[in-house]
A and B are shown apart, each in its own frame.
Chain A
Amino acid sequence: MRLRWLVPTVYIIFLMLPIYWLINMSFKTTNEILGGFSLYPRNFTTASYVEILTNPVWYNGYLSSISYVVINTVISVTVALPAAYAFSRYRFLGDKHLFFWLLTNRMAPPAVFALPFYQLYSAINLFDTPWAVALAHCLFNIPLAVWILEGFMSGVPKEIDETAYIDGYSWPRFFVKIFMPLIASGIGVTAFFCFMFSWVEMLLAKSLTAVAAKPIAAVMTRTASTSGYELGLLAAAGVLTIIPGALVIYFVRNYIAKGFALGRV
């Protein structure tokens, strides 16, 4: 039993190996990459990163990724808050079926929706804007947000609502002043998961953008195919897409387990 720590350690090493390899590649010159196998960069270079951070094609991809992810997170959490409150506090006509229908959208394969989404967002003139991707990602992020928030809200005793109403609070004032601070960590976890799923999803993000709003990860694969096989650039762009996720996860590390504990991802 004293060797128990080995299991997570080996597992984490396995997780880190491909990431290390990506970082390794990103600091190599193209010649060295194509020259053969090496465990670490012999001619250490930051040229790939300089190229990405100075070429507007690259950093605009970065900016558009972040803008649609942020728009989506804000929309999802904002509309999900009152809905989750309704599901956690009230019975109403068709509530269970509505909840189930919302969940089916979290489970539906994006590939089914890719083609009509292209038509739909072209028809309303949003194609190739961050708004198209942000709204499309609502398909699975809103149900997710409602689901997670409902779990957190059910943990708050109902007496708190009733006391506030007796004290003369109106519903909006009660919700913003009393209720939201009580579930602040829940809102944080929800925002984290919305951010995460919008950040990693690529099929819809790619099919709803062409030039102006192309996400960084899509710029990456396109560049890889048009300008020869520039593995160094590709790797550097990959490393840069990992960083926002790593930052976010660091800030919410203490809440993650709690969010997962509700089992609602």
Chain B
Amino acid sequence: MFDLSWMAWTWQTATFFAVIALLLAGMTAWEFVRPGGAPRDGVLGLHTTRGDRLFISLLGSAYIHLAWLGLIGPNLWWALALSIVYAVLVFRFV
């Protein structure tokens, strides 16, 4: 096969991408069990399905982490906690 060393995998990034892949697989399974994606109009006036809410959560979390790094400091566990709270809020209300 091809030489993949140039991709420079680390277990940390591999875990990260595995988690994303699992989330996508989970969403697919959820969609098979309960099709339709539970669409609704949230508090922001956006029409969202589950997939949209996942995307908004992930993108928002990325920005929360970046803002934490840029404005507060390198201890990202708090940013992670904040992101989880944010994701729960998104899934509940948006």
Contacts and interface: CB of A to CB of B under 8 A. Distances in A.
**CB–CB under 8 A between A and B in the complex?**
yes
Interface of A: 93-94, 96-97, 119, 122-124
Nearest to A119: B6
A119 B32 CA distance: 38
A177 B83 CA distance: 53
B28 A93 contact: yes
Contacts of B31: 93-94
A96 B51 contact: yes
Contacts of B6: 119, 122-123
Contacts of B28: 93-94
A123 B51 contact: no
Interface string B50-94: 011001000000000000000000000000000000000000000
B2 interface: yes
Contacts, number: 19
B63 to A, nearest CB: 16
Instruction: Give 9 nearest A-B pairs by CB, closest first.
Output: A119-B6, A97-B51, A123-B2, A93-B31, A123-B3, A123-B6, A124-B2, A93-B28, A94-B51
A122 B69 CA distance: 35
Interface of B: 2-4, 6-7, 28, 31-32, 49, 51-52, 55
Contacts of A93: 28, 31-32
A96 B52 CA distance: 9
Given A123-B4, A123-B6, 15 more contacts: A93-B28, A93-B31, A93-B32, A94-B28, A94-B31, A94-B51, A96-B49, A96-B51, A97-B51, A97-B55, A119-B6, A119-B7, A122-B6, A123-B3, A124-B2
Chain A interface SS verdict (over half): helix
Contacts of A119: 6-7
A96 B50 CA distance: 12
A122 B49 CA distance: 41
Contacts of A124: 2
B2 to A, nearest CB: 5
A22 to B, nearest CB: 40
A199 B27 CA distance: 39
Contacts of B32: 93
Contacts of A96: 49, 51
A156 B56 CA distance: 34
Contacts of B3: 123
19 contacts: A93-B28, A93-B31, A93-B32, A94-B28, A94-B31, A94-B51, A96-B49, A96-B51, A97-B51, A97-B52, A97-B55, A119-B6, A119-B7, A122-B6, A123-B2, A123-B3, A123-B4, A123-B6, A124-B2
